[in-house]
Structure 1
Amino acid sequence: MPWQTQQTMKNYTDLVTRVDEHIQRLARVHKDHLACKKGCDECCRHLSLFPVEAFALSRAFSRLDDPCREKILEQAQQTDRACPLLVDHVCMVYEARPIICRTHGYPLYMEKEGRAMVDFCPKNFKGVKKLDRSDMLDLDRINTLLTAVNNHFIACVENGLPDRIPVDQALELYPLL
């Protein structure tokens, strides 16, 4: 992997670390009000990803054992709705999951048509009367940072990449770059 690609992957992993730190803090503070846990996969869908996230996912996929990779590839051919990376309701590349998967279910702050909005899984935060602003991830800010990291990644990779890559097409991307 060229040095520039390694550096931009570090930019991505740094962003993921910041998101994870926020989510871990939130999980500690609100542990009694979270339904999200291993095996809960209702929100896991077949997504399209930025190339930088597709690359990270593909790298993790390449490290799985052959039977697991074969199962995932078979599942990817069977559906375009459920995430093919789920095997028995468990994400096989959980540590490399995209930012959208890391944040789903947790409070996301966004503005739409000038109005502040907060979105999170309706199964979470039951009984919580009010969330602090510090509990919320700013979706616009995360998307801006992710877009910048992705643009840098694309500039460092010599292969022409599309703007978005579906998960099933991302699986075997790693060896190609």
Structure 2
Amino acid sequence: MDIQKIIGSYREVLEDVSLEANRLEKQYEEYMVCRKGCSDCCTDISLLPLEWYALRERVRASKEPFIQERQPGSCALLKDRICSFYPSRPLICRTHGLPLLYLAEEYDKQGDQVESEEPDWQISWCDLNFTTVSEETMEEIFDPEDVLNMEEWNTRLKTLNLDFLETREGAPFREKRRIPLQEIFKEFS
């Protein structure tokens, strides 16, 4: 697969997750307290090589000069507590604050993943966003069909990332599992 098709497929994944996130934001609006300008979840993150590459290309193509106004521990993309590259933000940023479904993984004392006979699914949510939700009330509020299934989204992303690593553009990243987001801006410093 060529790089343009991979980037196009990656953008489709971002669009798809954004549509689902928007639907969930409307559904859970009465419970959600975070709004534009809330950047408490916008911290230093690392990205898969595909995500990092796609975002770096957007930053490079930007007509506006980018000057970091970074607070220690905060995301390198924030400017006045708002994302400077919001339309191009990575998958994790599109899911912040929403109820998320994860397949719980168990590990033994050596740190090796233990396979379980029955999958153990868990719903997580942001306590800063859903301030009235607790372990006791979450089943009343979150319908398991109306959460973001992160296994599904992460699998799609990982598959595209593997395809990206096989390209000429992805070759320099083959030895990297994740790349700190702030490394994008080293060339602009």
**Same structural fold, with TM-score higher than 0.5 when normalized by the shorter chain:** yes
Identity within the alignment, %: 31
Look up the match of 1:143: 154
Bigger shift: 120-129 or 101-110? 120-129
Within the alignment, does 1:169 sit opposite 2:183 as a pair?
yes
Within the alignment, does 1:115 sit opposite 2:120 as a pair?
yes
Bigger shift: 111-120 or 36-45? 111-120
Say which one has the larger Rg. 2
Look up the match of 2:64: 65
Look up the match of 1:20: 18
RMSD (Å), alpha carbons: 2.1
Query: Residues 49 and 167 of structure 1 are in contact (CA less than 8 Å); yes or no, is this contact kept in structure 2?
Result: yes
Query: Residues 48 and 164 of structure 1 are in contact (CA less than 8 Å); yes or no, is this contact kept in structure 2?
Result: yes
Whole-angstrom distance in 2 between the partners of 1:102 and 1:41: 13
Query: Residues 48 and 177 of structure 2 are in contact (CA less than 8 Å); yes or no, is this contact kept in structure 1?
Result: yes
Look up the match of 1:100: 92
Cα shift at 1:111: 2.3
**Residues 12-53 of structure 1: per-residue CA shift (max 9 Å, x gap):** 011111111110111122222222221101111111101111
Read off the aligned partner of 2:125 and give its amino acid letter. F
Look up the match of 1:49: 47
Q: Secondary structure at the match of 1:33?
A: coil
Q: Secondary structure at the match of 2:172?
A: coil
Whole-angstrom distance in 1 between the partners of 2:172 and 2:25: 39
Cα shift at 1:64: 4.7
Unmatched tracts of structure 1, length 5 or more? none
Read off the aligned partner of 2:161 and give its amino acid letter. N
Q: Which runs of 4+ in 1 moved over 2 A?
A: 113-116, 123-130, 170-173
Q: Secondary structure at the match of 2:40?
A: coil
**Residues 41-99 of structure 1: per-residue CA shift (max 9 Å, x gap):** 11111111011111221122220512xx1x22x63xx74x2111111101101111111
Within the alignment, does 1:156 sit opposite 2:154 as a pair?
no
Cα shift at 1:172: 6.2
**Residue-pair matches, total:** 164
Whole-angstrom distance in 1 between the partners of 2:129 and 2:145: 17
Read off the aligned partner of 2:122 and give its amino acid letter. M
Query: Residues 58 and 170 of structure 1 are in contact (CA less than 8 Å); yes or no, is this contact kept in structure 2?
Result: yes
Unmatched tracts of structure 2, length 5 or more? 107-118
State TM-score, norm by structure 2: 0.78
Within the alignment, does 1:85 sit opposite 2:77 as a pair?
yes
State TM-score, norm by structure 1: 0.83
